[in-house]
Structure 1
Amino acid sequence: MNYLAHIYLSDEDDFIKIGNFMADAVKGNHFEHYPTGIQIGIRLHRFIDSFTDSHPVYRQSKHRLHEKFGHYSGVIMDIVYDHFLAKNWKQFSTTKLEEYADTFYKLLQSNYDILTEKTQNALPYMIQTNWLVCYKTLAGLELILFQMDHRTKNRVNMPAAMEDIKLFYAEIEQEFFLFFSELEQNCKEELLKLKHEFRYNN
């Protein structure tokens, strides 16, 4: 899963959201100096990644792109699944996606000093392109893939995946719903465990 799903699955706790969002920029156990909520968010992020990568439905979606994009098929499918979350946002939240995204950007800005350097560097561009909202259209999805392709060391022309994404669009969307319902339930359970482990009552 990509940014939008990680944020959404963090419940309504600001620090857990921040930790989950920036976890990719935190390596190993180098997070113990952060506030407890951020530590939980980082741990939750890693749980989500592990659950996603091993899930047969997600793997089926990813397999549709693997022949052409190899290792990057997972990177692409993470973004595609976020597209379906954004597209169907009304089924998951009563808050408009635009409002939800704007609130999160402001949360990052108000906690700027605690963000990793990588996250700080990415934040202005993320806000400028309104990344979290951009996902919800096919044109926005293609733009995000183009931007991601430019950020990778070995460019693989990620936007070319749009051909297969459109070809299998209905099937992948159905797979997303099957997978995400399980992910959401498992995240709720994992979050309760983490809060108990850290004695976190926020």
Structure 2
Amino acid sequence: MNHLAHALLAGDEPERMLGSLLGDFVRGAIDPALPALRREGIAQHRAIDRYTDAHPQVVAARGLFAPPFRRYAGIVLDVWFDHLLARDFAQWSDEPLSDFSGRVQGLLHAREAILPDGLRRFSRYLHAHDLPLRYRERAMIGQVLAGVGSRLSRANPLAAGLEAIAPIEPQLDAAFAAFFPDLVEFARRPERWRA
């Protein structure tokens, strides 16, 4: 899953949400000196990624991509699933997406001094592009995929990710509809992911 899903599934505790957003930017053992809720957020992020990668709907969805996209299907799905979540955000949250997006940006801005460099750059990117609010726009998803592709060390087709999605979009949407409720239930059970 991508940033919108991680932030939403972290719940309302700012420290846990911060940890969930840190999940892609910290490696190795979780620092025991971090606040407990931040550690939980990192642990939850990692558990969500493992759960997502192993879920039968996600495994099947990755298999729908033809080469050369199959190698990058996990990245494409993470970003596309955030698009679907943003598009139908009211189904998953009582908070309007615009308010939630502002809350995510505000949290990162308020904690900028303690963020690792990668997350600090990402925070500025979110603010500059009004994300995660604009994840609901298809064109923005294309831009996000192209941006991810440009940061990878080897040549890749991610800039054409929307073209790869188009012929299998109904199947991907159905996979998300079947998978995401399971993920929400998983995230609500901290005994399955708490550090």
Q: Tell me which moved more, 26-35 or 46-55.
A: 26-35
Please identify runs of 4+ aligned residues in structure 1 that moved more than 4 A.
none
Report how many aligned residue pairs link the two structures: 195
Contact 2:30 2:39 in 1 (8 A): no
Could you tell me how far apart the structure 2 residues matched to 1:174 and 1:78 are?
15
Per-residue displacement from partner, 1:64-84 (whole Å, max 9, x unpaired)? 225222432111111111110
Could you tell me how far apart the structure 1 residues matched to 2:6 and 2:95 are?
17
Could you tell me how far apart the structure 2 residues matched to 1:93 and 1:187 are?
14
- Rate the CA distance shift 1:154–1:21 in 2: closer, same or farther, 3 A: same
SS in 2 for 1:62: helix
- Percent of residue pairs bearing the same amino acid type: 25
Could you tell me how far apart the structure 2 residues matched to 1:86 and 1:165 are?
17
Per-residue displacement from partner, 1:130-185 (whole Å, max 9, x unpaired)? 22122112111111111111111113121322123111112211110110000100
Could you tell me how far apart the structure 2 residues matched to 1:159 and 1:191 are?
39
Q: Tell me which moved more, 19-28 or 158-167.
A: 158-167
Q: Tell me which moved more, 110-119 or 83-92.
A: 110-119
Contact 1:4 1:82 in 2 (8 A): yes
Alignment-derived partner of residue 200 in structure 1: none
5+ residue gaps, structure 1, are 198-202
Contact 2:10 2:16 in 1 (8 A): yes
Normalised to the residue count of structure 2, the TM-score between the two structures is 0.93
5+ residue gaps, structure 2, are none
Per-residue displacement from partner, 1:39-91 (whole Å, max 9, x unpaired)? 00000001001000111101111112252224321111111111100011111
Alignment-derived partner of residue 13 in structure 1: 13
Could you tell me how far apart the structure 2 residues matched to 1:30 and 1:171 are?
36
Alignment-derived partner of residue 90 in structure 1: 90
Q: Tell me which moved more, 179-188 or 123-132.
A: 123-132
Q: Tell me which moved more, 182-191 or 45-54.
A: 182-191
Alignment-derived partner of residue 38 in structure 2: 38
Q: Tell me which moved more, 95-104 or 61-70.
A: 61-70
2:120 is equivalent to residue 158 of structure 1: no
2:176 is equivalent to residue 176 of structure 1: yes
Contact 2:186 2:192 in 1 (8 A): no
Per-residue displacement from partner, 1:87-133 (whole Å, max 9, x unpaired)? 11111112221111011111111112222221112221221012212
Cα RMSD, aligned residues only: 1.6
Amino acid of the structure 1 residue aligned with 2:127: I
SS in 2 for 1:27: coil
Amino acid of the structure 2 residue aligned with 1:166: A
2:118 is equivalent to residue 118 of structure 1: yes
Alignment-derived partner of residue 79 in structure 1: 79
SS in 2 for 1:31: coil
Q: Tell me which moved more, 108-117 or 2-11.
A: 108-117
- Rate the CA distance shift 1:176–1:193 in 2: closer, same or farther, 3 A: closer
